[in-house]
Amino acid sequence: MTESFEAKGLREKLIESIRQKGITDEEVLRAMKKVPRHLFMDPAFLHHAYVDKAFPISSGQTISQPYTVAYQTSLLQVKRRDKVLEIGTGSGYQAAILAEMGVRVYTIERCRELYLKAQQIIATLGYNIHFFYGDGYEGKEQYGPYDGIIITAAAPEIPALLLKQLKTGGRLVVPLGKSDYQVMTVAIRTGEDSWEYSSHGTFVFVPMLRGTREK
């Protein structure tokens, strides 16, 4: 895939601004510098793609703010060949970042329109990502356990089924809360029935909903 020098230049400026905001995970920054965010948005919005803000996509959803993607991915602390479950494919951008980092990505989307569109975009980039249409609250136990689980929507509480799909030592990262903002929370599985929790700042996400829908 070829892209314009303009897009590459805008992306480099964006990554530098994220670095200046405190993101120090060089592997995350490298992946974000490589993945063309504008392909996950309408072609008319090239300049919007490289502003550090969330942006509306189809089906009432948003592509997350780049800083938020970097922050949440850094908290996951993944390594190459780790197996990660993503809840909420959305545009597919977060999954692409993880795939660029060498992660084995399994991603679930409840909206069929987004599920199909994300696969088309990822196919043009050549990443090997496993897509599923379904209810993220259920996870995908048959492909687990996972080294990491990343939830890209606001959950009122952490679904117990997802906690059980982590490996011992695995990390789940989720924006947690019912209010207008959520607390980024990390859950680390420490044993068969034990987890440690930590909080990492406030963010704003669309809500995590149950079930599936066509559009």
Angle, helices 93-100/26-34, rounded to nearest 10 degrees: 120
If pLDDT is split at 50, 70 and 90, which confidence band does 156 have?
very high
Q: What's residue 42's pLDDT?
A: 82
If pLDDT is split at 50, 70 and 90, which confidence band does 213 have?
confident
Residue 125 lies in a domain: yes
Average pLDDT, the chain: 93
Mean pLDDT of 35-55: 87
Task: Give pTM, 2 decimals.
Answer: 0.94
Residue 124 lies in a domain: yes
State the total domains in the chain. 1
Domain holding 73, by residue range, is 5-203
Mean pLDDT of 97-104: 98
pLDDT at 164 over 80: yes
Residue 64 lies in a domain: yes
Residue 209 lies in a domain: no
Residue 174 lies in a domain: yes
If pLDDT is split at 50, 70 and 90, which confidence band does 2 have?
low
Residue 162 lies in a domain: yes
Of the candidate ranges 1-5, 67-71, 126-130, the one whose mean pLDDT is the lowest: 1-5
Instruction: Given the residues 17, 58, 59, 64, select the one marked as catalytic.
Output: 64
Percent of the chain past pLDDT 90, that is, above it, reads 80
Distance of alpha carbon 197 from alpha carbon 171, whole angstroms = 10
Residue 213 lies in a domain: no
pLDDT at 166 over 60: yes
74 labelled catalytic: no
- Bridging pattern class, strands 182-191 and 194-203: antiparallel
pLDDT at 136 over 90: yes
Q: Are 41 and 53 in contact (CB under 8 A)?
A: no
Residue 160 lies in a domain: yes
CATH at residue 173: 3.40.50.150
3-state secondary structure of 28: helix
